[in-house]
Structure 1
Amino acid sequence: MLEKKVTKYLKEHNLLQVGEKLLVGVSGGPDSLALLHFLQGTGSQFGYNIVVAHVDHMFRGEESYEDLLFVEKYCEEHSIVFEGTRINVNDYIDESGQSSQTAARTLRYRFYKEMMEKHGIQKLVLGHHGDDQIETILMRLTRGASGAARAGIPVKRPFEHGQIVRPFLAVEKQDILDYCGRHGLTPRLDPSNEKGSYSRNRFRLSVLPFLKRENIKAHEHFQRFSEELREDEELLLELTKSKMEGIWAKQSKLESAIHIKELMEMPNSLQRRAIQLILNYLYGENPESLTAKHTTQIKELFMNPDPSAELHFPKGLLVKKSYDFCMFSFLQTKPKTYYLKLEVPGETVLPNGYKIKAQYIKGSSCRNSNSTFLMPAHAASQPLIARTREDGDRMYLKGLHGSKKIKDIFINEKIPIEKRGTWPVVVDSSGEVLWVPSLRKSSREAENGDDQQIYIYLEYIKV
């Protein structure tokens, strides 16, 4: 039963203390409602003081507002302090350029932070469970994550001046649904969880059932893998940190330098982690688009026989090799021209601080704006290329007759001169201009999605 598993897990990991004040994130769905109900029950034994936080992201209009009212009513009936807010995440997406899921998470955790400060709370309790863990680990491995990121969701981690803890990682989704049934809970259900347009949903609907058929305890094995990998990673990082003093030649957030020879003399497993530590230091918090691929690129740069070479990384980081030194700098404001093959499916980071995310989809389950581009896969002359503007570039504009110079598009859209040199132009293998991200689309864009056809869907997103 869920109660025994979670109680044992709480003790093993020392997650909650007697009389502790807790902020519980509750969406109204089965996971978070079961978590709140469980904490209410154990709270009678351990004296937990609970505050509930709910965020309506306003993606589903009146339906998501009803989720907020549902959680508010539950808290009122059980004399629990409720803190709810409505945030128009779509407005933030347009402002930040983040994906819908990343933007929603950013704003949700910002609200959690505010509520912890308001109520003087040190622990944020969330309802992620064992199936979430499987999905997260597989998604990150598929994306090419490195280091501790491969371990998925941590049982507990620092958050602001406190911690996030996740007691339900010990159980699977079915345990939670059974718990809701036994206790007469009627959670709200989010229909977007069934949409195949979200990568997490595809793992949940297609991959998890297969794993559960292979081994009904798969979630337990993934959780053990997560915890062991995280422990191993912490030890290797400590070993790497002990050797970093001799590697730094100059250490500054804006401009740093290292001794290549000293780094390359370390064991291979420590070399990777040394590079990760350097990037962690420079970025503070790594962009989502930074993966194991970037670590590999830096190692290849070090092993390149040419004495001088450079790489352009997310958020304008220039990685430049010069003989026995490697410089890392955010001070470069004018990257050179580029010509990058788009990863389809995948993500391609551009030197201007943006990336192009490409995926194969069915139908029209996607955003439609100048920051997106949709075309039938069979009609795409691949590889697709993102490059800087070239003299004479023209594009046949969607909805208009004839072509227009890309230079004139920049002028009409009032793009500053300093940005035009790094603005991407997407072309196909024949050199035909398909799209100037965020500005204009060509007549090659599909008019409407057809559920019987496969499309290539491109998104231009700020890193």
Structure 2
Amino acid sequence: MLERAFQNEMRRHQFWPAGAKVIVATSTGVDSMVLLTLLQRLPTALKPQLIVAHVNHELRAESVAEEAYLRQFCLENDLALQVAHWPFKQHPQTGIEAAAREFRYQFFERLMTAEKAAYLVTAHHGDDQLETLMMKFIRSGELHEMRGIQSQRPFANGMLIRPLLPFAKQDLRDFAVANNITSFEDQTNYETTVLRNRVRHTLTPFLKQENGQILQNANRFSQQLTAVLAQQAQLTTALLPLLDLKTTDKVVSGQLKAVKTLPAAQQTAIWQLVINQHFAHIGPLKEAQLQQLHQLVQSMTKPQGQLALGQGVVFTKVYERFQIGQLTGDEGVSKAEKSRTLTLNQWCTLPNNEQIGIFEINHLPRKLSGQQLIWLADEQWPIVVKPCQLTDAIMIDKTHHKTLKRLFIDLKVPQEKRQNSWGVWTQGTLIGHPEFRVSALFNHEQTGKIRYVLCYANE
């Protein structure tokens, strides 16, 4: 019965053309040995050219006998075999299961390239699907993580195919017994220290007892959720122009005004898509991060703010704009930087790539971003440029002063500029910054003082 059902699945899906090279991941466990046998028995119109791929992880003493058996099996059945060893000295102290999987799939990828094979087949079955979904639900329940195992997906230069997903583990065992298929049981599959084993031996039997169709339900859920998420991604992509995205190597920036009017679910989808496209290495955002991000974006009382997204990536809100970027550890201006002395009629380039200078009227530079007239006495030189503190004060008229923090808030100066602001000073008194404000002590004609132009350029 299993063999006929398997062949019907192969006809229905047409995973590969007849005679195509197919790499079969084979561990000598009952699942992979049954898969290999089923592939061998396919009719000519469906049968591929098989290349058996085996990884000896050198984790168990039995692996020597398992490799030897598979070599003899392939020899007797005229099957091509490729074996890779994962040397014991390369085994990590922790995370060995994930490291072993990474080694396997790197080997499979290399083999597909070397053999010019476009298909890799693994023996994942319906019980694996149910176990995977239950584990993901236990660990997080995050929607984007609940898609389960796909029957086929892109891998390396071709496709990864799992043709046994419609079938139960017991179906494979029964077929192995009926056809005298030799296989090896990994005893670590019974160790209760591993979550998958606990799910396999306690939760899965209970679910099967409650509903005999639970494996079919698991596969259907995975397929439908995958389709829904794909549709959501397509619709969300159509909304991306609302952000007016600008990208560089390390930073993505854009507008918030339009996206803030969207329903929360669509906002969530947009941010997940932006992260996936530009910062995939940090993975999808967690629910708690998405809630914090939504609160920051929507907040009317917090026009500026930052949110850490993980692995040094930070979301920054500056009024109606946002920026997502990787912190490098050297961004921002150190407040301990030494001051720079200004030379008349020359630019002074700051660490943040801004330029500030004091020029005579007939020596003004051609390209300016901002300028302010100032009056200085000879004894007020030298003039220096140095980092500002938010508590520094500037005179806004003859009798009143204002801290830079308050001034920046009033002028809606972006947070980054507040943190990286340099000011022009004379003898401990803040003259100002030509982009923002010049102190009332220096911004009008005064007896005994000479008129200059305080200039600023940000390019």
Match status 1:257 vs 2:256 = no
Which has the larger displacement, 109-118 or 320-329? 320-329
**Given that residues 112 and 157 in structure 2 are in contact (C-alpha distance below 8 angstroms), is that contact kept between their aligned partners in structure 1?**
no
1:111-122 → structure 2 map (5 Å cutoff): 111-122=107-118
Matched to 1:195, the amino acid is E
Shift of 1:253: 4.8
User: Contact conserved, 1:253 with 1:281, CA < 8 A, in 2?
Assistant: no
- If the length of structure 1 is used for normalisation, what is the TM-score? 0.67
Distance apart, 1:19 and its partner CA: 1.8
The 1:19–1:332 alpha-carbon spacing in structure 2 relative to 1, beyond 3 Å, is: same
Rounded Cα–Cα distance in structure 2 between residues aligned with 1:308 and 1:89:
52
2:59 equivalent to 1:66: no
**Cα distance 1:274–1:82, how it changes in 2: closer, same or farther (>3 A)?**
same
Partner of 1:369: none
> CA–CA distance in 2 between the matches of 1:12 and 1:265?
45
Alignment of 1:176-325 (within 5 A): 176-287=172-283, 291-304=286-299, 305-325=301-321
Q: Unpaired runs of 5+ in structure 1?
A: 337-463
- Aligned CA RMSD, in angstroms, stands at 2.4
Distance in 2 separating the partners of 1:50 and 1:38: 12
**Structure 1, residues 106-162: CA drift from partner, whole Å, max 9, x if none?**
111100000001111000011101111111112222222545431101111001110
In 2, Cα distance between the equivalents of 1:135 and 1:291?
22
Amino acid at match of 1:88: P
Structure 1 residues 95-134: aligned runs within 5 Å: 99-134=95-130
SS of 1:151's equivalent in the other structure is coil
SS in 1 for 2:253: strand
C-alpha spacing 1:10/1:292, structure 2 compared with 1 (3 Å): farther
Tell me the SS of whatever aligns to 1:69. helix
CA-CA distance at 1:5 after TM superposition: 2.9
Alpha-carbon deviation of 1:222? 0.8
Show CA shifts across 1:253-285 (max 9, x none).
Answer: 521123233223233333222121111112335
Q: For 1:294-373, list aligned pairs within 5 A.
A: 294-304=289-299, 305-333=301-329
- Match of 2:8? 8
1:25 aligns with 2:20: no
Within 1, Cα distance between the matches of 2:150 and 2:287?
20
Change (3 A) 1:55 1:268: same
d(CA) in 2 for partners of 1:144, 1:234 = 21
The answer to whether the 8 Å contact 1:145/1:291 transfers is no
**Equivalent position of 2:39 in the other structure:** 39
CA contact (8 A) 1:31 1:176 kept: yes
Alpha carbons 1:311, 1:320 under 8 Å: kept: yes
Q: 1:254 to 1:211 in 2, by over 3 A?
A: same
Instruction: Give the aligned residue type for 2:226.
Output: R
TM-score between both structures, scaled by the size of structure 2: 0.67
In structure 2, C-alpha distance between the alignment counterparts of 1:215 and 1:245, rounded to whole Å: 46
Q: What SS is found at the alignment partner of 2:181? A: coil
Distance in 2 (CA, whole Å) between partners of 1:286 and 1:33 is: 37
Looking at structure 2, the residues matched to 34 and 291 of structure 1 have their Cα atoms a distance apart, in angstroms, of 39
Structure 2 unaligned segments of length 5 or more: list them: 333-459
Q: C-alpha distance in 2, partners of 1:270/1:332?
A: 31
Give the secondary-structure state (helix, strand or coil) at the position aligned to 2:62.
helix
The aligned counterpart of 2:394 is: none
Q: Distance in 1 between matches of 2:89 and 2:200?
A: 25
Q: Distance in 2 between matches of 1:65 and 1:292?
A: 46
Residue 52 of structure 2 corresponds to residue 52 of structure 1: yes
CA distance in 1 between partners of 2:106 and 2:226 (Å)? 26
Question: Following the alignment from structure 1 to structure 2, what is the Cα–Cα distance between the partners of residues 110 and 137?
Answer: 25
1:83 Cα deviation from its structure 2 partner = 0.6
Helix, strand or coil for the counterpart of 2:53?
strand
- Residue in 2 aligned with 1:83? 82
Q: Distance in 2 between matches of 1:187 and 1:87?
A: 21
Alpha-carbon distance, 1:199 to partner: 1.5
Distance 2:217 2:96 in 1: 31
Distance 2:263 2:255 in 1: 15
Moved more, 82-91 or 193-202: 82-91
For 1:116 and 1:156, the matched residues in 2 are separated by 16
Judged with a 3 Å threshold, the aligned counterparts in structure 2 of structure 1 residues 168 and 148 are, in CA distance, closer, same or farther, namely farther
Displacement of 1:326 in angstroms is 2.5
| CA shift for structure 1 position 12 | 3.3
CA deviations on 1:165-223 (whole Å, 9 max, x unpaired) are: 11000101101111111110121111111111112112112210110010111000110
Contact 1:29 1:188 in 2 (8 A): yes
Residue type at the aligned position of 2:297: F
The structure whose RCO (Cα within 8 Å, separation 6+) is larger is 1
Alpha-carbon distance in structure 2 between the residues aligned to 1:325 and 1:27: 53
Corresponding letter in the other structure for 1:300? Q
Rg larger for: 2
Q: Classify 1:282/1:194 alpha carbon distance in 2 versus 1 (closer, same or farther; 3 Å).
A: same
> CA 1:286 to 1:164, structure 2 compared with 1: closer, same or farther past 3 Å?
farther
- Quote the residue 1:135 is aligned against: 131
Task: Answer with 196-205 or 109-118: which moved more.
Answer: 196-205
Aligned with 1:151 (options 144, 147, 154) = 147
Structure 2 residue identity aligned to 1:100: I
- Asked if the contact 1:56–1:68 (Cα under 8 Å) also holds between the matched residues in 2, the reply is yes
Q: Which amino acid aligns with 2:87?
A: N
Q: 2: CA distance between counterparts of 1:176 and 1:14?
A: 22
Instruction: Show CA shifts across 1:205-255 (max 9, x none).
Output: 221011001011100011011111111111111000011122143224521
Name the CA distance, whole Å, in 1 between partners of 2:305 and 2:57.
Answer: 45
Closer, same or farther: CA 308–229 of 1 in aligned 2, 3 Å: same
2:225 aligned partner, one-letter code: L
